[in-house]
């Protein structure tokens, strides 16, 4: 039986890698354009250089070695969504923005699980055997470990290792969820820019290439993910290109929010939390 009420989704494929601040601005713009009328955007993108992204309310001093990032040329951005630190590098990043509660329900946990199931369909088409994770240790929930240190409840794992890390923001019937799907390991960069202190997070995550035993490309992985999501939700994806007015609005968000050092390094004000 069909899950989706609104059958046509718009899909944005950013094949050209973008800066961290611009990637976050595009996601933010898509979320802002949603109204009470059912609408869904699906986006796939990548990053022009290794970039650390912080969860909305994380204290940067506790989770990021800023000096190491600067020495290694790694960017730092703060997301509009919650969750924990992610190092974006050699990955597929997805975002899904929607106001369609018929397809996704009105709760964070239910929509999170449904999106995971759709992503799993794409991974299965690649030849993988993913499953949904159970509740992580309480130390992970309360602590400052990076996102890929443990799979959270209803996140996707393969052979007990996390393969997708996601975060969500909701406002009434509207939500955005975006996440990281590693294509290859980050070659120790994560430990170089965080305060892991011996934590072996690399042992708890797995990339698509590692899971398949062969190197795969961004385009190859996205093709399977799109196929799986389309099949799961029984929807038609319509390519979307931003017009001049939309591009101007996105650049405004980038400049005022995601290139603003007060936002990136200071985080949201107390009144925003």
**What does 53-101 look like in DSSP terms, one character per residue?**
EE-TT--HHHH--HHHHHHHT-EEEE-SS-S--EEE-SEEEEEEEE--H
Asked whether the predicted pLDDT for residue 270 surpasses 60, the reply is no
Measuring CA to CA, which residue among 149, 128, 129 is closest to residue 139? Answer: 149
Which is more confidently placed, 139 or 81?
Answer: 81
Token pair for residue 175? 């939500």
CB 181 within 8 A of CB 163: yes
Which range of 97-106, 156-165, 166-175, 249-258 scores highest in mean pLDDT? It is: 249-258
Asked whether the predicted pLDDT for residue 245 surpasses 70, the reply is yes
pLDDT at 190: 85
Average pLDDT for 5-34: 94
**Mean pLDDT lowest among 46-50, 71-75, 126-130, 139-143:** 139-143
Asked whether the predicted pLDDT for residue 271 surpasses 60, the reply is no
pLDDT at 174: 95
Asked whether the predicted pLDDT for residue 252 surpasses 90, the reply is yes
Which is more confidently placed, 149 or 164?
Answer: 164
| 195 pLDDT tier (thresholds 50, 70, 90) | confident
The whole-angstrom separation of Cα 161 and Cα 201 is: 10
Write the pLDDT tens digit of every residue in 106-156: 888 899 999 999 999 999 999 999 999 886 554 444 444 555 554 567 889
Q: Count the neighbouring beta carbons within 10 Å of the beta carbon of residue 55.
A: 18
pLDDT at 80: 96
pLDDT at 150: 47
| 218 pLDDT tier (thresholds 50, 70, 90) | very high
Q: Domain 8-272 in CATH: superfamily?
A: Bira Bifunctional Protein; Domain 2 (3.30.930.10)
The whole-angstrom separation of Cα 241 and Cα 39 is: 16
pLDDT at 142: 47
pLDDT at 76: 97
Catalytic residues: 147
The whole-angstrom separation of Cα 39 and Cα 137 is: 36
What is the chain's mean pLDDT, rounded?
A: 88
């Amino acid at each position: 039986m069909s899950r989706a009420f609104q059958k046509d989704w718009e899909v944005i494929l950013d094949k050209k890698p973008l800066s961290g601040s611009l990637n976050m601005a595009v996601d933010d713009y898509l979320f802002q354009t949603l109204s009470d009328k059912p609408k869904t955007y699906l986006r796939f993108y990548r990053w022009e250089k290794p970039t650390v992204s912080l969860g909305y309310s994380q204290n940067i001093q506790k989770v990021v070695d800023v000096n190491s990032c600067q020495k290694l040329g790694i960017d730092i951005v703060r997301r509009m969504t919650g969750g924990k630190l992610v190092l974006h590098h050699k990955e597929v990043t997805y975002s899904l923005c929607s106001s369609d509660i018929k397809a996704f329900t009105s709760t964070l946990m239910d929509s999170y699980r449904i999106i995971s199931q759709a992503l799993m369909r794409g991974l299965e088409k690649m030849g993988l055997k993913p499953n949904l994770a159970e509740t992580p240790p309480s130390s992970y929930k309360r602590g400052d470990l990076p996102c890929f240190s443990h799979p959270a409840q209803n996140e996707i794992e393969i052979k007990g290792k996390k393969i997708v890390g996601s975060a969500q923001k909701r406002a009434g019937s509207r939500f955005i969820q975006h996440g990281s799907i590693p294509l290859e390991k980050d070659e120790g960069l994560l430990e170089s820019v965080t305060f892991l202190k011996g934590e072996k997070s690399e042992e708890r995550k797995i990339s698509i290439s590692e899971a398949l035993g062969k190197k795969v490309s961004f385009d190859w992985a996205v093709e399977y993910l799109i196929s799986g999501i389309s099949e799961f939700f029984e929807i038609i994806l319509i390519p979307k290109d931003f017009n001049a007015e939309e591009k101007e609005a996105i650049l405004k968000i980038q400049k005022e929010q995601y290139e603003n050092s007060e936002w990136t390094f200071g985080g949201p004000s107390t009144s925003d939390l």
